[in-house]
Amino acid sequence: MARHRWQPLALSGAALILTGCLGATSVSGGPASQATAVLLYDQLRSAFQIADRDTRQQEVLSLTRGFLADVQSRGTTDEAASALLTDIAQASHPLLNNPAIIQRQDKRVIVGFPDDLGLVLYDMSTPPDTPPLELSPWTAGLSTIQVTWQPDAIGVLYFTVGADQATTAHYVLAEQSRGSWRVGWFGDEDPDWWFNTRNATVTVSPDLQILKVTGEADHTSPAFDEVAGSPHRTFSVEWHKLPSGYAMSPQPASDAERTSWLWQIAVPSPYATLVEFIERIRINDMAGAGKLVADPAVVSAAFSFGLNFPENRFQVTDFNPTRITIISVRGTFIVSIKPPSEGADRPWLISALSPLGAAPPTP
């Protein structure tokens, strides 16, 4: 995939002049330094007011290098610097959809900008005219950033919050080579496999060699319509570092094996068992379906009710750990679930399957 989106951002001439002045005067903390800082903050406020999004982004990101030099010279904490940049932005846009987030180690700075202006890496050890590196242009709803620092690499895990209040995890790797930074890998560029990031837990190893992602995904079953408020399966995979990025493990050998691969990586749950059971009977996998039931009669019942027919699109209308109600063109059915025994390696099992009205009452 071409990487034309990830070009370093060019700094404007005005920003370079201001940065040079700030660097020369801010050390003493005298009146000149205060005046320069006030000018810088006023320019940042004005930049956030620019109507054109691309121009606004360009000016804000250019002026931010001077802002970072100023807060560094004053010993401002990351939290205070983040709040200050957020306040500057909110002076122009009171209803921003996310705050600014600043995280630093030595001369390296990660900035998540408000107003959906992107995620950027600044290297303050380079000359003032060195452009920052855009890690991601899409940060709407940015809520948190977790950075793992290595001498020549930086792993940036960040989360965004959608309109439905669900979080989505994103990960980008920045690598240094011959004194310059580049984006080495970005999970969002691999959407077919960086898929289980909804409401996810992500663990990044300190050496950046392994990412463990455990989370939900949309549209993973041809048999179920997973609407808002209905259960979703949770999937757990690992990504292992390679010279050219990360590779997922385990990974299906082909797209045709994706359904069975999803069964393999699904975290055991009542709903995961139900989805796998229905998908197996749809392909007439009697043996596989039989491993998911406590009573072989459940498999026969599913076929007699026509739940194996491909025109079925199931929707969960009610669920708890031991009882799931599903509806399709074949009617409404009650699925009873038996939890695994303590210490057992078997999944949750389906103990009964009955049409609504014929099912025994809930205990």
Q: Distance between CA atoms of 158 and 160, rounded to whole angstroms?
A: 7
Query: Tell me, what's the pLDDT at 345?
Result: 65
DSSP result, 170-199: EEEEEEEETTEEEEEEEGGG-TTTS---EE
The structural domains of the chain, with segments of one domain joined by +, span 4-189, 270-355
Identify which has the larger pLDDT, 5 or 60: 60
What value does the mean pLDDT take over residues 280-308? 96
> What number is the average pLDDT over the span 271-277?
97
pLDDT of 35 above 60 = yes
- Examine the pLDDT at 20 and tell me if it is beyond 50: no
Pick from 90, 355, 287: nearest CA to 277? 287
Tell which phi-psi region holds residue 149, choosing left (phi > 0), alpha (psi between -120 and 50) or beta: beta
pLDDT attached to residue 8: 40
The pTM (predicted TM-score) of the whole model is 0.85
Confidence band, pLDDT 50/70/90 cuts, at residue 360: low
Q: What is the pLDDT of residues 192-246, one digit of tens each?
A: 899 999 999 999 999 999 999 999 998 899 999 998 888 999 999 999 999 989 9
The pLDDT confidence band at residue 344, using thresholds 50, 70 and 90, is low
pLDDT at position 32, please? Answer: 42
Q: Where does the pLDDT of residue 23 fall: very low under 50, low under 70, confident under 90, or very high at 90 and above?
A: very low
pLDDT score, position 14:
36
Return mean pLDDT, the chain: 88
Pairing of strands 167-177, 180-186: antiparallel
